[in-house]
Amino acid sequence: MREAPVRHETVPARFAEGRRIDGVDAARGIALVGMFIAHLAPAAATGTLEATLLSVADERPRLLFALAAGIGLGLLTGGVRPTDPSDRAEQRRQLAVRAALLLLLGLLLMYVLQPLASVILDEYGIAFLLLLPLLFLPRSVLLGLGAGLLVIAPGLAVALSATDAVQDARRGRTFLLTDWFIAGSYPVIIWVPVMLVGLAVARYGLQRPATVAITGLVALATVVVYLPGNALLDAGAGTAADALGTSLVTVANVGAGLALTAALVAVTQWGTDATTRVARILLSPLSAMGAMPLTIYTAHIVVISQAIRIEGGVPDDDSWGLLAFTVLGSMAFALAWRAWVGRGPLEALFRWISGRDRPAA
């Protein structure tokens, strides 16, 4: 009896594994714009619509950035088909070099340029180093570990930051380590769980409609914990309430970021050829920025560090004009560079230094 022939599905090019995913790049671009707003938008009076809108850029963009970084790390290491075990040591070495470069660049930006905004790159370098042993765990383990830590870590960071030991450490010689891991603007204790969730989502396959749909629906469901979490923070009932409220709000914000990413992937990959083409064109300024986040982020730190002025005896860099220049200039640069050159300049440099462009790699 003859066996039935094996059927091979023809997958459109835009769905193929290994290609850049425009929706993820667009999400990363939105995160960059959100951070620009958080760093440069002038303060608004409390209780106004403007203040409410600006508050959206306070925490969500950096969580979305971390989430997209985790997804990117998953895609870089093979997506749903992780790197072959024989090649994993070399890939970990390359990623370790990149992490060290991020750490060095972050410190240089922070101590040489001394911007008023917190710099995120050094924390990202440390987070990537911590993720190296976890990269190729089963996807269910990655998801469970990331989700479990995400529920606990934000509140734990708040509780630890309130202790005398951590407060003393922040005033001592170990202040940088304390800020990196627990009490800073971008503590690794929070970013690693967020990145683990992103890594797990990439392992399940963002090129698959079922993954996109389930991710979006589950993530959207988590947003319901935002209101009780925010109410706990507003109540000011003490460290325990603040810790619980912070965890709930962080889970909701990561859920919102996942839902947004799933929606962007859906509109850029899973419609008709005509609708996805229109969506990619409309989102191209954001996706171009998101395809070279290191270059765009670093350039914006350089710009805002040179815009510091003294007003009323206090250093300031807030400006609607500078914000508009930074957003529009970043979009124009990213679009032109991607069209005429390709990979972002810092991305290409890091890739070359890490050895990823060598034939053997």
Q: What is the 3-state secondary structure (H, E, C) of 275-287?
A: HHHHHHHHHHHHH
d(Cα 233, Cα 225) in Å, to the nearest integer? 13
Q: What angle do CA 336, 337, 340 make, to 5 degrees?
A: 80
CB atoms closer than 10 angstroms to residue 28: 27
Q: What percent of the chain has pLDDT over 70?
A: 90
Angle, nearest 10°, between helix axes 293-305 and 320-340? 150
Query: Residue 311, SS3?
Result: strand
Question: End-to-end CA distance of the chain, in Å?
Answer: 45
Q: What is the pLDDT of residue 13?
A: 43
Q: What is the pTM of this model?
A: 0.89
Whether the predicted pLDDT of 47 surpasses 80 = no
210: phi then psi, degrees, rounded to nearest 5: -65, -40
CA 90 to chain centroid: 24
Q: Which helix (H) or strand (E) holds 316?
A: strand 314-316
Considering only CA atoms, give the Rg of the chain: 21
Q: How confident is the model at residue 360 (pLDDT cuts 50, 70, 90)?
A: very low
Whether the predicted pLDDT of 64 surpasses 80 = yes
Whether the predicted pLDDT of 78 surpasses 60 = yes
Determine contact, residues 283/264, Cβ cutoff 8 Å. Answer: yes
Distances (CA, A) of 13 to 27, 149, 198, 260, 322: 21, 36, 23, 23, 39
Residue 131 or 310, more confident: 131
- How many residues would you count in the chain? 361
Q: What is the pLDDT of residue 1?
A: 38
Question: Which residue stretches of the chain are H helix?
Answer: 22-40, 49-76, 88-108, 121-131, 139-161, 164-171, 175-178, 188-204, 209-222, 226-235, 239-269, 273-290, 293-305, 320-340, 345-354
Query: Residue 315, SS3?
Result: strand
- Spatial neighbors of 18 by CB under 8 A, at least 6 apart, are 75, 79
Whether the predicted pLDDT of 326 surpasses 90 = yes
Whether the predicted pLDDT of 361 surpasses 70 = no
Q: What is the pLDDT of residue 289?
A: 97
In the predicted model, what is the mean pLDDT of the chain? 87
Q: What is the pLDDT of residue 318?
A: 87
CB atoms closer than 10 angstroms to residue 239: 14
Which region, left, alpha or beta, applies to residue 16 given φ > 0 means left and ψ of -120 to 50 means alpha?
beta
pLDDT tens-digit series, residues 135-163 = 999 999 999 999 999 999 999 999 998 88
Residue 199 or 246, more confident: 199
Whether the predicted pLDDT of 297 surpasses 90 = yes
Whether the predicted pLDDT of 17 surpasses 60 = no
d(Cα 101, Cα 257) in Å, to the nearest integer? 27
Whether the predicted pLDDT of 40 surpasses 60 = yes
CA 134 to chain centroid: 18
Q: How confident is the model at residue 216 (pLDDT cuts 50, 70, 90)?
A: confident
Q: Which helix (H) or strand (E) holds 309?
A: strand 309-311
Whether the predicted pLDDT of 4 surpasses 60 = no
Whether the predicted pLDDT of 3 surpasses 60 = no
Whether the predicted pLDDT of 269 surpasses 80 = yes
